[in-house]
Chains A and B, each alone.
Chain A
Amino acid sequence: MEQSFEPKIIGFLCNWCSYAGADLAGVSRLQYPPNIRIIRVMCSGRVDPSFVLKALKEGADGVLIAGCHPGDCHYESGNYKAMRRYLYLKKLLKEFGVEDERVRLEWISAAEGARFAQVVTEFTETIRRLGPSKFKEKAASVGKGA
């Protein structure tokens, strides 16, 4: 069972830096595991903590949030906001018995294709080691009414 586990990872990447970094990794034909599904957001500061919880609940084993390096945010301070939210979110996950390593925040610039590939490779390995998330819940058991 453990052998066949393929982590499902959701990546929220900011439009200006990290998404461009992922693009560069693609056009440079860098190899990285195919486990990540990318969602492009305008800014890492747009990633509401509830998006992360929802992704985990609906089947993700890990969530990567990536934005511009400190000081480089297209909207000046969105990435700092993302960083502060992320710190609280990790605290919250721990209290609920969810491994906080399942959520990771990284700064990846548009020029860092190789870094993007490396982060995804590392993160996929982390999640593979943790195994499937227990936080997933079948939609039926959360549905309202009976």
Chain B
Amino acid sequence: MAEKLKIASYWAADCGGCDVAILDTHEKFLDIVQAADIVFMPIAVDIKEKDVEAFPDGYIDVCFFHGAIRNSENEHMAKLLRRKSKVLVAFGSCAMMGGVPGLANFKDREGILSRVYFESPSTDNPDKVLPQTETQVREGVLTLPAFYEEVKTLADVVDVDYFMPGCPPASHQIVNVFQAIVAGNLPPKGSIVGASTKSVCEECSRIKENKTIKRFYRVHEIIPDPERCLLEQGIPCMGPATRGGCGAACPVANQPCRGCYGPLDGVIDHGAKYISALASVIDANNPEEAAKIFDQIADPAGMLYWFGLPASLLRRVRK
């Protein structure tokens, strides 16, 4: 047998769910470790940054990088792993589009630090101490990463070979992609892997009747008909604007799609595209009535960019 592949998995600004999703491939994970040595994966293997630095450049065959870039350490590790890896995969919504951490772009750096270190109800900080990148103590200088003004995607800071959407990517897709890697059967650089080119709606078995609606509901306000399209029942479901590949996991479980697989091919802005779908489903031809219906959507901007604000055209708030 040929030499085993060397793979790595690393987390930057994220929840760790992507790593867990890799472990969640269950017995298939054993196939993975049979075909590959894990040379770096903080959740599972005790190998430190200095060990990675000691690897020759290009030593890692494939690195699954998950998490967004929110501070200088994330960026440093992205650059280090880029150098040490032959193939770098932006794994999961956070690395690919900024993900849930990217929602921080609705605020700015100053606003976030002030909320966390001065204003939150459980904070007691009378001297207004903020974390510093360098602090002199008797033993020497202590350092912390610098917190950035905005959350970035992985591709904003390094060259990325493949993009794999999902929050987290579906286990069966992880296995598919892994098998393609082992077989040396990867698509052209820059491709989206582990997903479909069709929308979530195409994978969703709910019945669509082109019904229009007079009001929107939040998920706790209604018990949806299990057979019919959620959007046509007034529950904002991002299926029409979202890339499939997850098997419509959320609508199958009676929850609306929130858009974690990102936009379809050729769409320049996921949220803006979804506005078109929402506008089509509303039954109101006068502006006052239409505005009232839209007012029932609790967090209009957050809903559109739940998983991809840093990759959107708007990207962040302007002061």
Q: Which residues of A contact B (CB under 8 A)?
A: 48-50, 52-54, 57, 70, 77, 80-81, 83-85, 87-89, 91-92, 95-98, 134-135, 137, 142, 144-146
Is A88 in contact with B294, judged by CB distance below 8 angstroms?
A: yes
B156 in contact with A135 (CB, 8 Å): no
Query: Which residues of the other chain, A, contact B158 by a CB distance below 8 angstroms?
Result: 145-146
Contacts A54-B268, A83-B287 known; 4 new A-B pairs at CB < 8 A:
A48-B273, A84-B290, A92-B271, A95-B317
A88 touches B313 (CB 8 A): no
Are B317 and A97 in contact, CB atoms less than 8 angstroms apart? Answer: yes
Q: Does B318 contact A (CB under 8 A)?
A: yes
Q: Mark B293-319, 1 if CB is under 8 A from A, else 0.
A: 010000011001000000001111111
Count A-B pairs with CB separation below 8 Å. Answer: 93
Those 5 A-B pairs whose CB atoms lie nearest each other, nearest first:
A50-B272, A84-B279, A49-B272, A95-B301, A50-B269
Q: Determine the chain A residues whose CB is within 8 A of the CB of B160 once the complex forms.
A: 144-145
**A70 near B285 (CB under 8 angstroms)?**
yes
The closest CB in chain B to the CB of A57 belongs to B313
A50 neighbours in B (Cβ, 8 Å): 267-269, 272-273, 313
On whether A91 and B269 interact (CB within 8 A), knowing A53-B313, A97-B318, the answer reads no
Interface of chain A, helix or strand or loop or mixed? helix
Residues in A whose Cβ lies below 8 Å from that of B300 = 88, 91-92, 95
Is A53 a contact of B314 with CB atoms below 8 Å? yes
Tell me the chain B residues, 253-300 only, with Cβ under 8 Å from chain A: 267-269, 271-273, 275-276, 278-280, 282, 284-285, 287, 290-291, 294, 300
Contacts of A81 in B (CB 8 A): 276, 279-280
Most buried by A among B273, B300, B318: B318
